[in-house]
Structure 1
Amino acid sequence: MASLVSVMLVLVCQIGLTIQACAECACCKGSFTCESNKNCINGCIDGYYGAKCTEECQGNCETCVNGNECTECTPGYYNNKCSIPCGKGCVNNTCLLVSGECPCKSSYFTKGKCDACAGLRYGDECNNTCPSNCGTCISDTECLWCKNTVYYGSYCQHRCSLGCDQGRCIKSTGHCIEGCKSGFSGGKCDKCSPGVFGPFCDQNCSNNCFSCLSETNCTECNPGFYGEKCANACPSGCNGTCSVSNGQSCNITDIYRVCATDTGRCIHGCNSVIKYGEYCEKQCSDTCNNKSCDLKTGHCLEGCEMNFYGLFCVDSCSTSCISYTGKRRCDGTKGHCLFGCKYGFHGERCDNICSSQCVNTTCNQTTAECSYGCIDGFKGPKCAEIIPDLEGYYTRSTLIGSTIGTFLAGGIVVGIASLITIIIRRRRNIQTKQLDVHGHVNTIGPCGIRSNDDTHENDSPVTYEDLKSRDERLYSQITTSQQETPPATDYVNYSS
């Protein structure tokens, strides 16, 4: 009967029910192998820890030494908290506790953690083949990147334009990464620049042709001309341009006038490809390829120079993007890093810093979750939470430190104030005093005349004879003091 009760209590602990019986040695290893104080002698059954084996392991821990360190995980998880899933290709969904490595189900998975598909494969079992131009993919219609960056589109179905310098373009837009070759224009470098035509945009249009489809088919004439080859001059009185087909639709104004008489706005655009605006008063960004931009908006027409992005190409790619010699760090449209982030940064532009609570300050580029767990004292996917056991310690330590600092600072201030007060008082009490040969204290007055302490206000002369007698005595004293120098022993300095 006793053994049956023991078995029942162990089962209660294992299914996670909390009753008083679990605290009475029932979760110790063995049959009631605990001391009189209820501490377990041989340790705890799986899933519990503590001296009395009353604390339950957390999360996916099978066994643990405390609430923050697992020694064995449930199948499918690893690390000291059993919080990271094993790779989808692990045999039996089981991997090593510390590294997460495991034997793979097949060669379709990458070796090591078996957490990704090898080669050009996708799917839960990595048994599907990616589209031919994909570098890697997640389905047959979604490539993560294209081979050699010479293709674009959701599954890399389009080849970059012939006009792209180095032949490379951005997967999402097809815009050329390095800008256009000479003679090409447009974001995708798929148009010929004004004045040239042909598949390689290297043949010149006829004279007076601003743009053309062939040597005999002008699509736009230079100001003042019209016709299929722009060989005809516009009639006099035209405002500088006229219909390409028939020379009509002209205004009766000066043929050479290029701006409106009422506003001064440019009628035919700017005479330089590096200017834009209604008055051509603005200059295209220096970092536009060929410094050319849209006449109205100023948006760069031929993409951005190396490592700049945006409509005006004034934003620099983040220095936290991984870079390779001769290659752009980010795409020219939104500034997203093309080759990922340097260690310690995350985000599409790699402009966010990983939490300092992450081990090695390293985190996932997309989610910002710490890649290698948290430093001591923190927890959570981004290591933003203080572990409760240490939170009070940190708060008390901060409080004690600030209190001691306050007392020390206060003591120093009081000490300095007291020292200054003593010095001022002593200086006020020091007087220059001397003793004459009879032991009387003499104080040196103005003009070097000594006054004797025995002199009293009642001795002041009150008659002319008294004044005269006093003056004679003072004169005699001055004469004597000039002729005789009293010995140094006749003077005594007093200080109060």
Structure 2
Amino acid sequence: MYRKGDSCTQCHRQTQDDHDECTRTCPITGRWGEACNKHCGAGCRSLVCYQWSGECVHGCTEGRYGQQCEFNCDHCRVCGYGVSNCARRDGSCSCGCSGNLYGATCDKQCNSKCLNTSCNSTTGECTHGCIEGMFGRHCNSVCSDTCLHGTCHQNGSCMACMQGYYGEQCRKKCSRNCGSETCSGDGRCSPCKPGFFKTQCQEKCSDNCLNETCNQNNGKCDYGSVKCPENCATDKCSRGNGSCSDGCVAGTYGQHCRLTCSSSCTDMECVTNDTGGSKPVCTLGCRDGLWGDYCDMECPRHCSVCNKNTGSCQGLSHDSYVQSLHRLVVILSSCLGVLFLVTVVIIVRRRECTWCPDFHRSIPPINPDNRPDEFSGSRRAEEISLHEFNASRDSEGSQYDVIPDVNNERGYEQLQPPQPDAGYTPLLYTWQ
């Protein structure tokens, strides 16, 4: 320590004489100051303090802190054995805080929800638990309202649950099938209501158990059971009338599943909406060729599949398709045959008509003066064929004479020019 003005500081640049002055005490015990006219602090041990600073030389008495030991350590717990319970420099407690204080300097209040208002002097956590209805390290959380009497442990778990609840904080509801609606902490019912079994009574006893009771562990009927009809889908049936509770096996229907579904139904699956044995409805549709709710109506002819509701055709059968194709081939063949015959008849008739006696009569005489210009020059006039002359030479009013041909025994007719007043031209035919 070195003297600097009226105080002593850590300054190594000062002289040794200055150091000596800082550590000097007054010749009168309990005094300090340049004229030794100031009193050392009452908390100075042995009432000895340095002349220039008044700092207690031997520290403070128990329960005091500060440079001159002028402050009390009332906020700190007493350590005993004459040891100071707080640090002289900053007043931090050596043996913890007193009362309901906590913190490094014991300047914070413990939560009023702490039991006995006591808490850890360092962290402030409640050391003896919480008052009723509160939980948490600092007791600042409220217990679940389903805890019995609203009380819980400091970790929040209920000491007990209200009726009908279970779980650590009693937030889960017991099964409604528990007897008296109470259960253990893990939700187990003891016992179950009649008609239920398993740990939480979540499964129903068989409908055919007498007195509606069964073993809670395995579900076996306590007092035996009624025998269900053999076609029931399960072994559950009514104790009163024996009707199947879960329906019938495939292919049967009715209250006791003794009636057989129609073979018209796909896979013989059907169902009825009442227990009176009314006509069943096919559930998987109809076999090919049938339609309707009961599959009792036939699809149109040659239709293998039709709409179940309307009966409209949705596909031809293979046989029907082949028959239809065969029928189409027959019809087309017949038409072609008829067309061929008609063509042959027309050709034959035309050939026969060329030898008819009346054929030339149907040809009107041609007046060359009245012919259009288009026939002149570019058209080639040829004599009519001999067989046509032969056919008409014996007709009345013929203008032909027969001239014998020495080289041909048949002879032929030669065209004779008409008389000027005959009213017709030589028989000529113009070919286009």
Same fold (TM over 0.5): no
TM-score by length of 2: 0.29
Q: Which has the larger radius of gyration?
A: 2
